[in-house]
Amino acid sequence: MKPTIYDVAKKAGVSIATVSKVVNNTGNISDRTRKKVMKVMQELEYQPSSLAAALTGKRTFTIGVLVPDIANPFFAEVARALENYARETGYAMILCSTDYQRKREQDYLELLMKKQVDGIIIATEPKDLSAFRKLQSRHIPFLMFSIDHLALPSHVVTTDDIRGGYLAGRYLLDKGHRRLAIIAELSRPSGRLRLEGFKQALSDQGIELESPFIIDAISKVEDAKLASQKLLHLPEKPTGVFATTDLIAVVFMNEARKLHVQVPGDISVIGFDNTIHAEIADPGLTTIAQPIDDLARYAVYKLLESIEKPEMPGHRIMLAPALVERQSVKDLKDQYS
Amino acid sequence: MKPTIYDVAKKAGVSIATVSKVVNNTGNISDRTRKKVMKVMQELEYQPSSLAAALTGKRTFTIGVLVPDIANPFFAEVARALENYARETGYAMILCSTDYQRKREQDYLELLMKKQVDGIIIATEPKDLSAFRKLQSRHIPFLMFSIDHLALPSHVVTTDDIRGGYLAGRYLLDKGHRRLAIIAELSRPSGRLRLEGFKQALSDQGIELESPFIIDAISKVEDAKLASQKLLHLPEKPTGVFATTDLIAVVFMNEARKLHVQVPGDISVIGFDNTIHAEIADPGLTTIAQPIDDLARYAVYKLLESIEKPEMPGHRIMLAPALVERQSVKDLKDQYS
DNA sequence: GAAATAAAGTTAAGCGCTTTACTTACTATT
DNA sequence: AATAGTAAGTAAAGCGCTTAACTTTATTTC
């Protein structure tokens, strides 16, 4: 049987209170006693039950992480980064894929509350605001990750999507591109913001993005294919395309190749997210990198902060994305390329 | 404050034992009382603390999952499938990426023990057997996923890698290929088994795989590039290549293209895992699919089974992989292709 | 209608820990 | 040597729940 604090106390000839103090490094314990207790703990391979500890008002040292789908490489990387920072601070992470379903979201939030997690990181667009209000009324700290939701007074840590779109646009312009198009996930806020930033960059140069050059797509292979084909069959093809996710960008490059349209020879492509897709793609995909590691660090630290001081008002932290240059964009001003 | 069982009991005018019985559907409770208690629970938004329940000897309804790296698409899909089946049975999943590091593995196992998880699924090659023996002596059920370890008497659920390699080999042979090569992850058991199966298929046809055609690689972009180049610069190039992971296969295809070697025109390629890479690749990558969903289902169910009856001896379940045909292999017997 | 049986509830102990309030044993101060 | 002050340790209550053992109430049986 797993040894308990009583076993340790008995074997060491002290009270359980003393053992508890040794374990938690609190109170006054002589060096002699401390050593004796530690030795016994070693011998018994004693491990305090965090369950019991949590029941007495201590933390559970567990956080919940809600993502839409962990099988999506972007969220997999997010989860990995979050996990790293959580582990560093002694926290375990319960992973929850909501699959964009309201029911799953609700179920998971309930589960997390039952388990009394210390806090929750939400990286999925909320379907059910009332569930979140319940978190609030229960004083369970939570934080929106990469999702901005004005209705919720929680902390928010997100990439500056507008800026990302702007960067993409300006980069293409800098490379001499003027006839531009975008394939954007308009069904998602981040997609719309990226579009907005992109438009902004163009209008700063007096260029307007016309609606045939704005194509809506979901970031799934099939849908991205259709969108790509639509774009590739435009009577007047753009010279530069911004896809709001790497997956869309890579699928676009494949479709282009099938039609003997060279990338970047005939059309330049820029993606978003800097996932493994961008790295593997051929040519390497120039893309806007979300600062995933920084986002994760801020997220975990902010969450722990509001676990400690629950009354803190929610901050909104927006981190700048960065351009990662690979080979998918041609410099039109460079006649040798 | 979060309401407790006492709050419910008081408001409903019954004892806490009665409330407990209503919650767990045990004992004898009249319909009238049950309804009354349920109503109060609703009003108070009462949620039983699984912490407290677990402390009284019940399950924690939490399992731990150890993977090497959740950011790796294959493990991301594994995690997703496991998560689905865990959730279905009311379990939460604590995710742990060991990063192939002994220290992290140990830390996480310790964490999971402290949290008193009901069981652990291990999808990473054990670095520290003694840690696992500790699990055994503590009677914490665990299960090896997609990893076979003879020293451990636990359940094992894995893909039949030998068979997978065999399938790959036979498929290439069926398509008329005779000069074959393999890029294999020889540092990992699964890679070695896949190689073995591949060799077997060839030797069944009286063909021997010679050592220049066996190239070792780690499943990372840089290393896969080097391995691919080595293969592509062989004086006598093979007509068919088996890469033991999709990532290697895709990188190989890219390197081939750079050298103006057509896939599948000049060289056919077959991968392993059927990850998103295979789907996105152009041409679509023919690959051996691991039955991830089935593996996950078996894994979760077997684990829960041994949580219920801890004394059951460990079974070894090996599921057959399946070939997924796309466009990366040319049929040499078909002169029109 | 009394005794036996079944149904519906309750009491109280215990799960493994933390923590407050308390006791005991020293050390320092005058 | 008496007093105060500090250091080291303990006793016991309580966290929110489950459950065995028990009591009370209702139902059946002859």
For residue A331, give its domain range.
161-290+323-336
CB A256 within 8 Å of CB A262: yes
Both tokens assigned to B6: 């006492």
**In angstroms, how far is D14 C1' from B104 CA?**
36
Token pair, residue A14, equals 């002290």
Question: How many Å lie between the alpha carbon of A264 and the closest alpha carbon of chain B?
Answer: 14
For B18, the token pair is 């009665």
Q: A95 and B95: CB-CB below 8 Å?
A: yes
Q: pLDDT of chain B along its 337 residues, tens only?
A: 789 999 999 999 999 999 999 999 998 899 999 999 999 999 999 999 999 999 998 999 999 999 999 999 999 999 999 999 999 999 999 999 999 999 999 999 999 999 999 999 999 999 888 888 888 888 899 999 998 777 777 899 999 999 999 999 999 999 999 999 999 999 999 999 999 999 999 999 999 999 999 999 999 999 999 999 999 999 999 999 999 999 999 999 999 999 999 999 999 999 999 999 999 998 999 999 999 999 999 999 999 999 988 778 888 999 999 999 999 999 988 765 4
- Are residues B105 and B11 both part of a single domain? no
For residue B73, which residues of chain A lie inside 8 Å, CB to CB?
71, 73, 76, 276
Q: What Å value separates CA B53 and C1' C19?
A: 22
A112 three-class SS: helix
A146 vs A299: CA distance, rounded Å: 10
The radius of gyration of chain B from alpha carbons, rounded to an integer in Å, stands at 26
Nearest CA in chain B to A256: B282
Cross-strand pairs, B183: B215, B243
Asked if A249 and A213 sit in the same domain, the reply is: yes
Nucleotide nearest to B46 (CA to C1'): D16
Strand D nucleotides, any atom under 7 Å from protein beta carbons: they are 7-12, 14-21
Residue B213 near residue B184 (C-beta atoms within 8 A): no
Number of H helices, E strands in chain B: 13, 12
| For the segment 47-86 of chain B, residues whose CB is within 7 A of strand D | 48-49, 52-53, 55-58
> In whole angstroms, how far apart are CA B211 and each of B65, B183, B199, B270?
37, 11, 11, 19
> Does residue A273 come out as left (phi exceeding 0), alpha (psi in the -120 to 50 range) or beta?
left
What CATH number is attached to the domain comprising B20?
1.10.260.40
The pLDDT, as a whole number, for residue B152 is 75
Contacts of B107 in chain A (CB under 8 A): 87
Query: Per the structure, how many domains does chain A have?
Result: 3
Structure tokens at B190: 């699964």
Which residues on chain B are in Cβ contact (under 8 Å) with A277? 280
Question: Is A138 in Cβ contact with B2 (below 8 Å)?
Answer: yes
Radius of gyration for the alpha carbons in chain A, expressed in angstroms and rounded: 26
CATH of the domain at A242: 3.40.50.2300
CA distance A212 to A120: 41
Does at least one atom of strand D sit less than 7 Å from the CB of A206? no
Shortest Cα–Cα distance, B89 to chain A (Å): 12
State the DSSP H helix or E strand holding residue B328, giving kind and residue range, or none if neither. none
Look at residue B337 in the predicted model and tell me its pLDDT. 47
Contacts for B23-28: CB closer than 8 Å, 24+ residues apart: B23/B48
Are residues A178 and A208 part of one domain?
yes
Helix or strand or coil: residue B65?
strand
User: CA-CA distance, B332 to B187, in Å (whole number)?
Assistant: 32
3-state secondary structure of A290: coil
∠ CA A187-A285-B182, nearest 5°, is: 115
The token pair that represents A34 in the structure block: 């401390």
Residue nearest to nucleotide D13 (CA to C1'): A56
Q: Do A280 and B247 touch (CB under 8 A)?
A: yes
Q: Cα distance from B53 to chain A (closest Cα, Å)?
A: 10
**Nearest nucleotide by C1' position to the B8 CA atom:** D16
DSSP B201-214: HHHHTT----GGGE
Q: Do B96 and A83 touch (CB under 8 A)?
A: yes
B148 shares its domain with B216: no
B80, B103, B251, B269: best to mutate for the A interface, most A CBs within 10 A? B80
Please tell me whether residues B267 and B167 are part of one structural domain. Answer: yes
Q: State whether A221 and B247 contact (CB < 8 Å).
A: no
Six-digit token string for B220: 């990372």
Residues B168 and B230 occupy one common structural domain: yes
Say which of A115, A279, A280 has its CB closest to residue B50: A115
Please tell me whether residues B48 and B65 are part of one structural domain. no
> Who contacts A269 (Cβ-Cβ below 8 Å, separation ≥6)?
A240, A241, A242, A243, A249, A252, A253, A256, A263, A285, A286, A328, A329
A22 and A66 within one domain: no
Contact yes or no for A73 and B71 at CB 8 A: yes
Give the residue from chain B lying closest to A86, CA to CA.
Answer: B96
Same structural domain for residues A274 and A189?
yes
Output the CA–CA distances (angstroms, integers) from residue A86 to A21, A48, A83, B330, in the order listed. Answer: 25, 20, 5, 48
B25 touches strand D (CB under 7 A): no
Minimal C-alpha gap between A139 and chain B (Å): 8
Tokens of B335: 């002169």
How distant is C1' of D6 from CA of A5, in Å? 28
pLDDT tens for chain A, residues 1 to 337: 789 999 999 999 999 999 999 999 998 899 999 999 999 999 999 999 999 999 998 999 999 999 999 999 999 999 999 999 999 999 999 999 999 999 999 999 999 999 999 999 999 999 888 888 888 888 899 999 998 877 777 899 999 999 999 999 999 999 999 999 999 999 999 999 999 999 999 999 999 999 999 999 999 999 999 999 999 999 999 999 999 999 999 999 999 999 999 999 999 999 999 999 999 998 999 999 999 999 999 999 999 999 988 778 888 999 999 999 999 999 988 765 4
DSSP track, A108-120: HHHHHHHTT-SEE
Q: Is the CB of B6 under 7 A from strand D?
A: yes
The two structure tokens encoding residue A43: 């011998």
Q: Residue B336: its pLDDT value, please?
A: 56
d(CA A306, CA A152): 15
**CA of B144, C1' of D1: distance in angstroms:** 73
- Residue B330 and residue B192 in one domain: yes
Q: Is the CB of B214 under 7 A from strand D?
A: no
Residues B221 and B327 in one domain: yes
pTM (2 d.p.): 0.92
Tokens of B33: 């009382």
Distance between CA B223 and CA B324 in Å, rounded?
25
Neighbours of B100 (CB within 10 A): 13
Query: Is the Cβ pair A80, B93 closer than 8 Å?
Result: no
Q: What is the pLDDT of residue B178?
A: 95
Q: How far is CA A223 from CA A121, A164, B148, B282, in A?
A: 29, 23, 39, 16
For B111, the closest of A69, A92, A253 (CB atoms) is A92
User: Do residue B241 and residue B275 come from a single domain?
Assistant: yes
